[in-house]
Amino acid sequence: MANNVSETLIGAVVLAVAGSFLYYATQISGYSSDTNQYSLTASFRSVAGLNIGSDVKLSGVKVGTLTSISLDPDTYEAVTTVSINNDVLIPDDAEIKVSTDGLLGGAYLEVTAGGSPFMLEPGGEFVFTQGSVSLLNLLLKFGGDNDD
């Protein structure tokens, strides 16, 4: 009988740990059933370093999450969809760009608010975008062969 109680207790602990891992995975992946957010889209030349679930920050404060990345077959640009918290209104002339936390940090989307009195509506699109910059390409241009 003591054997059955200990097996049941161990099984309960295993299920609790599995549930906590599942919860953690849904939080990291950006999956959310939160209805307190609205979606916006943006197109970039390059989104290198970004993943679904990456943060969207405004003035250094997380205001949303990257929810999808796809390729536009006509323009060959990366089309992204972000979910923004309902309590954050984004001006329609705002810029969104791919940024990193230092040289080795992760990538995130940084929103710079514009001065327009008009706000992006749910389903709207950022007009001003800037894709990720390759540090290796910059170093090659700087240290490259100049035939002047």
pLDDT tens digits for range 17-57: 888 888 777 666 555 555 789 999 999 998 988 999 999 99
- Note whether 74 and 104 are same-domain residues: yes
What is the reported pLDDT for 30? 54
Structure token digits, residue 38: 């609205």
- Which tens digit of pLDDT belongs to each residue from 88-104? 999 999 999 999 887 67
- Note whether 22 and 41 are same-domain residues: no
- Note whether 48 and 117 are same-domain residues: yes
- Note whether 21 and 73 are same-domain residues: no
- Which tens digit of pLDDT belongs to each residue from 116-148? 999 999 999 999 998 877 666 767 777 765 555
- Look up residue 73 and give its DSSP letter: T
Split at pLDDT 50, 70, 90, the class of 81 is very high
- The closest of 113, 41, 44 to 82, measured between CA atoms, is 41
Domain-embedded: residue 105? yes
Range of the structural domain that residue 16 is part of: 1-31
d(Cα 66, Cα 132) in Å, to the nearest integer? 15
* Total number of domains constituting the chain: 2
What is the reported pLDDT for 105? 74
The answer, as to whether pTM is greater than 0.85, is no
Domain-embedded: residue 147? no
Residue-level length of the chain: 148
- Note whether 50 and 103 are same-domain residues: yes
- Note whether 4 and 64 are same-domain residues: no
- Note whether 90 and 75 are same-domain residues: yes
Domain-embedded: residue 148? no
Please say whether the beta carbons of 81 and 64 come within 8 A: no
